[in-house]
Amino acid sequence: MNFFRGVMGGQAAGPQPSGAETIQKLCDRVASSTLLEDRRDAVRALKALSKKYHMEVGTQAMDHLINILQTDRSDSEILGYALDTLYNIICNDEEEEQDESEDAVTPLPVSGKYKNVSMPDENAQKQADDLGAQFTDKFIQDPEHVTLLLTLLEEFDFHVRWPGVKLLTALLKNQGAQVQGIILVSPMGVSRLMDLLADSREVIRNDGLLLLQQLTKGNAAIQKIVAFENAFERLLDIITEEGSSDGGIVVEDCLLLLLNLLKNNSSNQNFFKEGSYIQRMKPWFEVGDDNSGWSAQKVTNLHLMLQLVRVMVSPVNSPGATASCQKSMYQCGLLQQLCTILMATGVPADILTETINTVSEVIRGSQVNQDYFASVNAPSNPPRPAIVVLLMSMVNERQPFVLRCAVLYCFQCFLYKNQKGQGEIVATLLPSTIDANSISAGQLLCGGLFSADSLSNWCAAVALAHALQDNLTQKEQLLRVQLATSLGKPPVSLLQQCTNILSQGDKIVRRGSKVQTRVGLLMLLCTWISNCPIAVTHFLHNQENVPFLTAQISENLGEDERLVQGLCALLLGICIYYNDNSLENYTKEKLKQLIEKRIGKENFVEKLGFITKHELYSRAAQKPQPVFPSPEQMLFDHEFTKLVKELEGVITKAVHKSSEEEKKEEEVKKTLEQHDNIVTQYKELIREQDAQIQELKEQVASLSSQNDQLQATITQQLSQIQQHKDQYNILKLKLGKENQSQSNSQGDSSQVNGLQTEELTQLREEVEELRKQHTLLQTQLSDKDALINTLRSEGTQTADESAGGPGNAELLKELEALRSQVQSQSAEITQLKTERQELLRRAEAAPSETVPSSDSSLDASKIAQLESRLAAQTSETERLREEMKSLSESRADLQQQLASATSTVAILQTEKAKLQTEVQESKKEQDDLLMLLADQDQKIHSLKQKLKGLGETVEDEDDLDARDQTDDDDEEEEDEDED
């Protein structure tokens, strides 16, 4: 009892043991006690001492505590004490106390909490961190310790699970990468930690969120696993349950974890979008009309929610993924909700600034979203476009600096790859569209460009430059803008006014002599006249501009002015490179001579190169958003850095080139243009030939269809001929019956004559119809002959170019055969018609005259002769058709047999070659085996001789064979005896 009084702080008589001695005794009891109660009491005492004697407990007791975790798994109480003790050793108590004492109303940035500690506290914090890192290294030396801890997290007991979560979080804070690697290779390691989010006890769930935050920092593999463990669904459910933006610190932790999972992880971003989780973000931004009294926690939550939207549409993401997310945000109404916050009143300044930045990236490069943003109006009277309201804030020097930067970024994103929007902004400056009763975007930009505030000058110049970016049409349109400087003076062009501010020596110069204003104007002029020869001519037309630029470049000025000199050199270089030599005094060659005389080429290139060497240039080139620590450092625009990178090299080459090299280049360009013209001519010729070939193919197709129609017509005619033959046979039978019945009575004769008259009329009509059809066929054949002759002549001209020549020749041959067949059929029809008319004539003359028996017999013989001829012709035709059919079938069979025989021969040859190869290889192997056997026989013989020489009895193969034969005979005799 005295011992425990000493440990727990009670009073005891005699000298008190030191802390290290007490801890040593407790460690001995933990290691040697057989009773669980004794070990539990000792671990409880170590826990109590671990906060005060941080290093001593960690040094002496860590191994014993780990052993407790491994051996006493059945007792949750001792496990909890051991885990709490390890947590106290590894983590930093001072940090926990500071976190608890912090003011909860202070808004928190994304990176963590602000701390206000004195220097001694910082030193103590550093020592504690180093000590915690050392104990962490000792704990994770054996990866099994972390695996053991993951196993303990499966325990549902609160006293085990909660300290286990805190201990693992502390390990990840101290040595994140190493612990992440161990958890990653541990089976079901991440899944066990994800189960913490489903714990019904809020304290474990909330600490589980902190654990997952540490686990997912900077490890893409773990981030993917966590995402596919349904983390998005669980986190969004927790955010909804906790009240979304009105929720507490738990919502903030969920949002921080979501940011860890999505930032710089394209796989998780795609999974988030495909899972329709973007649609679930819309309710977060539904703020009411009463925006007064926002709590610090709500500001922090909404700030993180806006950052989460920006992560999905960040310019650093792949363009396809960003465009897809932008489309989803517009379709689900998220963009509309953000614009509502943008135009609402009473929104805190930092939320408004972040909302502007978020809207900027949601509309950047998306035509649909940019068009929607252009249609948004502020709830004012009269309503004004949101763009105009934002620009009013940008050029207002009383607005916060970060807000003005955000508005500039929003305007840049609105114009990014948006030629329609660029045209609308420039149009507000043109004389024909200016409305005196309303304030337009162009008027605000001009007002900011010439105001007394240098920051407004710079922002307006950059904004106007973005309205001209990669848009030659708007660069030329802006040359038409005229400004009224003062009463009684003629208007001045906008280009002239910009150069006046740079070069004239009145109040405007003193007001615009600040570096920021001059840099902004020079960036605007460089963007304006680059790749626009007309603007270059307008700029050079002012006689004062070139002398001013050369004077600026050649002077020796201070550090700040060197940047202005570099931009002046860039502007002069653009005037050389994009010069069309339309002004005689300022041609390319004369400007280069001027540089060589007044400045010097090397000096000019050195001044030009100073732009890219400036530290602010490198910072602006990193990302599109203008982020500056202070207004004085706001000098370069991101898009302008791209222009400088593009033009620096070509301007340097253009200045160093001589007139002879330029002439050579022009000659090369002319040669290339001629070459291009020749290539273009050949392309046109090929296109014409392709068109002709296509036309011929169409004609061939039409002829093929006409051929099919002719075949059908011929078949129809053959059937009609067959019908006429049948009718002719019927008529012949009737005529024979009439001749037989003429001697019977006159009344019968008159009846037959009446019947013949009707039939003859019908036959005449049919003969007339056949004659018309024959005439029509003859006409069609003549048309086809003319078309065939035309095609034949065209095919002869384009025989080398057209790929369908052989097909046309075959078609022509087929048509010739068909035509001859039709002509033969027509001749046959004509002959039959003639014979039929003769028969009809005789039949008509039969009733009025008495026909002798010899004439009737003559007619009968002719009829029989005709019948035989028709039958012979028909049978001959059928026979020829059958022969053709059989020949074509036999030809097809023979071709098929030939093909199969060819393939069989090829297969047999291949197999033959393979067999020959195998035979050669087997022969080679047999020879090798024979040689090997011969060597072995020789060796065996020599060994036998040696054994015989040594006196050993060696049996030859003949003796062995004889012995085997004897053994076989003995076995046979034994079998016979048994039988």
* Domain ranges for the chain: 433-657
> Is residue 166 within 8 Å of 153, Cβ to Cβ?
no
For residue 513, pLDDT beyond 50:
no
**pLDDT value, residue 882:** 76
**pLDDT value, residue 378:** 87
Sort residue 265 into left (φ over 0), alpha (ψ -120 to 50) or beta.
beta
pLDDT tens, 644-691?
999 999 999 888 876 566 666 666 666 777 777 788 888 888 888 888
Q: For residue 109, which of 4, 1, 259, 240 has the smallest C-alpha distance?
A: 259
pLDDT tens, 23-44?
888 888 888 888 888 888 888 8
Sort residue 333 into left (φ over 0), alpha (ψ -120 to 50) or beta.
left
Q: What is the mean pLDDT of residues 159-187?
A: 91
Q: What is the mean pLDDT of residues 893-919?
A: 78
pLDDT tens, 449-459?
988 889 999 99
Higher pLDDT, 226 or 927: 226
> Is residue 495 within 8 Å of 535, Cβ to Cβ?
yes
For residue 474, pLDDT beyond 90:
yes
Q: For residue 592, which of 661, 534, 529, 669 has the smallest C-alpha distance?
A: 661
DSSP string across 861-899: HHHHHHHHHHHHHHHHHHHHHHHHHHHHHHHHHHHHHHH
**pLDDT value, residue 737:** 73
**pLDDT value, residue 955:** 63
Q: For residue 594, which of 585, 582, 581, 605 has the smallest C-alpha distance?
A: 585
One-letter amino acid of 268? N
CA 245 to chain centre: 34
**pLDDT value, residue 427:** 92
> Is residue 32 within 8 Å of 64, Cβ to Cβ?
no
**pLDDT value, residue 570:** 95
CA dihedral 771, 772, 777, 778 (to 10 degrees): 70
One-letter amino acid of 688? E
For residue 409, pLDDT beyond 60:
yes
Residues in the chain, overall count = 979
Angle between helices 319-331 and 349-363 (to 10 degrees): 110
**pLDDT value, residue 933:** 81
Q: What is the mean pLDDT of residues 264-289?
A: 90
CA separation for the pair 193, 171 (Å, rounded): 14
For residue 392, pLDDT beyond 90:
yes
Residue 87's SS3 state is helix
CA separation for the pair 180, 189 (Å, rounded): 10
Mean pLDDT estimate for the chain: 80
CA dihedral 958, 959, 965, 970 (to 10 degrees): 170
- Across 158-162, 309-313, 508-512, 552-556, least confident range: 508-512
Fill in the DSSP letter of residue 851.
P
As a whole number of Å, the CA-based R_g of the chain is 53
> Is residue 243 within 8 Å of 301, Cβ to Cβ?
no
**pLDDT value, residue 978:** 55
The two beta strands, 482-483 and 377-378, are unpaired
Residue pointed to by tokens 């804070």: 173
Which helix (H) or strand (E) element contains residue 483?
strand 482-483
Strands (E) across 596-658 are located at: none
For residue 205, pLDDT beyond 90:
yes
Top mean-pLDDT range of 51-65, 347-361, 913-927:
347-361
Long-range contacts of 929-934 (CB under 8 A, 24+ apart): none
Neighbouring-strand partners of residue 482: 493
- Across 145-149, 683-687, 801-805, least confident range: 801-805
**pLDDT value, residue 104:** 33
Top mean-pLDDT range of 364-373, 736-745, 765-774:
364-373
For residue 962, pLDDT beyond 70:
no
For residue 129, pLDDT beyond 50:
yes
Q: What is the mean pLDDT of residues 494-520?
A: 71
Q: For residue 528, which of 575, 582, 592, 564 has the smallest C-alpha distance?
A: 575
For residue 159, pLDDT beyond 80:
yes
- Domain 433-657 top-level CATH class: mainly alpha
DSSP string across 263-323: TT-HHHHHHHHHTT-SGGGGGGG---S---S--HHHHHHHHHHHHHHHHHT-TTS-HHHHH
Tokens representing 116 are 């206000």
For residue 748, pLDDT beyond 70:
no
Tokens representing 150 are 């993951």
**pLDDT value, residue 847:** 45
Residue 492's SS3 state is strand
Burial (CB count within 10 angstroms: exposed 0-12, middle 13-18, buried 19+), residue 92: buried
**pLDDT value, residue 109:** 36
- The neighbour count for residue 917, using CB atoms within 10 Å, is 10
CA 464 to chain centre: 32
Q: What are phi and psi of 483, to 5 degrees?
A: -120, 140
* pLDDT-derived band at 116, boundaries 50, 70, 90: very low
* pLDDT-derived band at 373, boundaries 50, 70, 90: very high
> Is residue 530 within 8 Å of 574, Cβ to Cβ?
yes
**pLDDT value, residue 732:** 78
Residues with Cβ within 8 Å of 494's Cβ and at least 6 positions away in sequence, in order, are 429, 446, 478, 479, 481, 482, 483
DSSP string across 69-131: HHH-TT-HHHHHHHHHHHHHHHS-HHHHHHHHHS-TTS---TT-------HHHHHHHHHHHHH
**pLDDT value, residue 476:** 94
Q: Is the pTM of this model over 0.85?
A: no
Which helix (H) or strand (E) element contains residue 774?
helix 746-797
CA separation for the pair 945, 938 (Å, rounded): 11
One-letter amino acid of 74? S
Residue pointed to by tokens 């008027």: 443
- The neighbour count for residue 602, using CB atoms within 10 Å, is 10
Tokens representing 71 are 């051996």
pLDDT tens, 588-600?
889 999 998 988 8
Q: What is the mean pLDDT of residues 703-716?
A: 86
**pLDDT value, residue 506:** 33
* pLDDT-derived band at 278, boundaries 50, 70, 90: very high
Cα 303 to Cα 110, 113, 252, 350, 561: the distances in Å are: 8, 14, 10, 8, 40
**pLDDT value, residue 928:** 81
pLDDT tens, 565-596?
999 999 999 999 999 888 888 888 899 999 98
Determine the longest span between alpha carbons in the chain, in angstroms.
Answer: 177
Q: For residue 213, which of 112, 298, 301 has the smallest C-alpha distance?
A: 112
Which helix (H) or strand (E) element contains residue 676?
helix 659-741
Cα 832 to Cα 381, 765, 779, 869: the distances in Å are: 101, 15, 21, 11
Whether residue 163 has a cis bond before it, omega within 30° of 0: no
Cα angle: 894, vertex 896, 897; to 5 degrees: 65
Tokens representing 485 are 């400087």
One-letter amino acid of 668? V
pLDDT tens, 59-89?
888 888 888 888 888 888 989 999 999 998 8
Tokens representing 507 are 């109040």
Alpha helices in 381-478 (DSSP H): 386-394, 401-415, 419-427, 441-449, 454-468, 472-478
Higher pLDDT, 104 or 813: 813
**pLDDT value, residue 784:** 64
CA separation for the pair 422, 425 (Å, rounded): 5
For residue 110, pLDDT beyond 60:
no
CA separation for the pair 210, 205 (Å, rounded): 9
> Is residue 109 within 8 Å of 96, Cβ to Cβ?
no
Residue 121's SS3 state is helix
Residue 850's SS3 state is coil
- Across 336-340, 616-620, 812-816, least confident range: 812-816
pLDDT tens, 913-950?
888 888 888 788 888 888 888 888 888 888 888 888 88
- The neighbour count for residue 847, using CB atoms within 10 Å, is 17
* pLDDT-derived band at 752, boundaries 50, 70, 90: very low
**pLDDT value, residue 907:** 83
Cα 524 to Cα 75, 391, 464, 517, 560: the distances in Å are: 76, 18, 7, 11, 19
**pLDDT value, residue 7:** 46
pLDDT tens, 764-792?
676 677 777 767 777 766 676 676 666 55
**pLDDT value, residue 860:** 59
Q: What is the mean pLDDT of residues 473-482?
A: 92
Share of the chain above pLDDT 90, in %: 35
